[in-house]
Structure 1
Amino acid sequence: MAEIKFEITENIGTLSESGKGWYKEFNLVSWNDRDPKYDIRDWSPEHEKMGKGVTLTREEVVELKKLLNSLDI
């Protein structure tokens, strides 16, 4: 399997921490030297390992923000 190259260009924030010390983070990440995209996934403490996550374009983040703002929570 080919190695995935990544660079966290901006750490926007941490959403939670698991019992095993991993963090669910919202970051701006460049994957394989491409333009950075917004990303939500679990990361090990030193960011050497990652879990499955979701990558979003700026437009998708704008729509997600609208949806979250419409929630009555």
Structure 2
Amino acid sequence: MRVEITIDKRNQRQLPGDGVSVVEAELHKRLLKKYPDTGIRVRFSSATNINVTGGSKDESAAVRKIVEQMFEESDEWMSS
């Protein structure tokens, strides 16, 4: 499975200087526990989006829920 998250470049100021690598590291930590063969990519783009390919509908929904929860808890892990 492959997960790609694009973050609207207009939100770049809201992230720390190394924001993309921080988000990518947190995704690795959360997703690779359950889906160890998952490829992860995070980058800036013109819009915020998540794209999950190569997984079933159930896996895609589970990944989206993990990502949603991760961003809801961003105050906890973003500053560390």
Q: TM-score, normalized by length of structure 1?
A: 0.27
Instruction: Specify which structure has the higher proportion of helix.
Output: 2
Instruction: Specify which structure has the higher proportion of strand.
Output: 1
Q: TM-score, normalized by length of structure 2?
A: 0.26
Structure scoring higher RCO (CA < 8 A, sep ≥ 6) equals 2
